[in-house]
Amino acid sequence: MTNDGQSTLPKMTVSMPHEFSPEVGSSALSTWLKDHPGVEIIARDRAGAYASGAREGAPNAQQVADRWHLLRNCSDALQNVVERRYRLVRDIGKSLVDRFVEDGGSDARPEDRAVLPAHSRRQHARHKERRALFDEMVRLAGIGWSQLAIRRELGIDLKTIRKWLKDEQPGTWRRTVFTPNPADIHEDYVRRRWGEGCRNATRL
């Protein structure tokens, strides 16, 4: 499965891919595998339809998680952690900016003084790009384009399209509802140690 939601079955000996729409489900994958015996390894995401189709069509093949989805899962997990602790991340970032402004960045290396402004610019650019994609997606949906057609046109996966259409926004770090986290009881300690100059994550 590619990162835009399209299923691709490459025949490695001739480098020819065979594509399926994600709506087809496990039956098409199972049928294709039965018609092409000898498959030994199947790299896939963790969707149940692909697992079922692979088991039915090539029961002796070894199924493994493909690299892209492993990295995507790690990325999503990290983003979820940061989103849950957004308040703390935001406040610490603000305190660093305030400190640099107050002392003119005299105690920081030149490369460090550029980190926060550069990060802010990159973040703003990403949000602007995401908003532009969202606006175009809404426009296309409004004139009758199907979700599959929008995916092909904009390169956005179907899950994202459905979520954005449902939420009526592209999504940001800022959430209207903050979910309490058990780590909140340590927030005062982390702030105090950070203020004392501790930057070692293990010690914190």
Same domain, 99 and 187: yes
pLDDT band at residue 105 using 50, 70 and 90 as cut-offs:
very low
pLDDT band at residue 118 using 50, 70 and 90 as cut-offs:
low
Long-range (24+ apart) CB contacts under 8 A made by 48-54 are: 49/25, 50/1, 50/7, 50/26, 52/26, 53/25, 53/26, 53/27, 53/28, 53/29, 54/29, 54/30
**In-domain check, residue 76:** no
**In-domain check, residue 202:** no
Most confidently modeled range among 1-5, 98-102, 161-165: 161-165
pLDDT band at residue 185 using 50, 70 and 90 as cut-offs:
low
Same domain, 28 and 60: yes
Which element (helix H / strand E) includes 164? helix 158-167
Q: pTM for the full model? A: 0.34
181: which DSSP letter?
Answer: -
**In-domain check, residue 79:** no
Here the tokens at position 84 are: 């849950």
State yes or no: pLDDT of 147 exceeds 70: yes
Domain enclosing residue 154, as ranges: 86-195
pLDDT band at residue 138 using 50, 70 and 90 as cut-offs:
very high
Same domain, 34 and 92: no
**Residue 81 confidence (pLDDT):** 80
**In-domain check, residue 20:** yes
pLDDT band at residue 10 using 50, 70 and 90 as cut-offs:
low
Same domain, 104 and 170: yes
Q: Is 138 exposed, middle or buried (CB count within 10 Å of its CB: 0-12, 13-18, 19+)?
A: middle
State yes or no: pLDDT of 11 exceeds 60: no
State yes or no: pLDDT of 119 exceeds 70: no
- Higher per-residue confidence, 92 vs 40: 40
**Residue 176 confidence (pLDDT):** 42
**Residue 70 confidence (pLDDT):** 81
Task: Over range 40-56, report the average pLDDT.
Answer: 81
CA 193 to chain centre: 31
Residue appearing with tokens 């899962």? 73
Same domain, 102 and 182: yes
Number of structural domains the chain divides into: 2
Q: What is the mean pLDDT of the chain?
A: 72
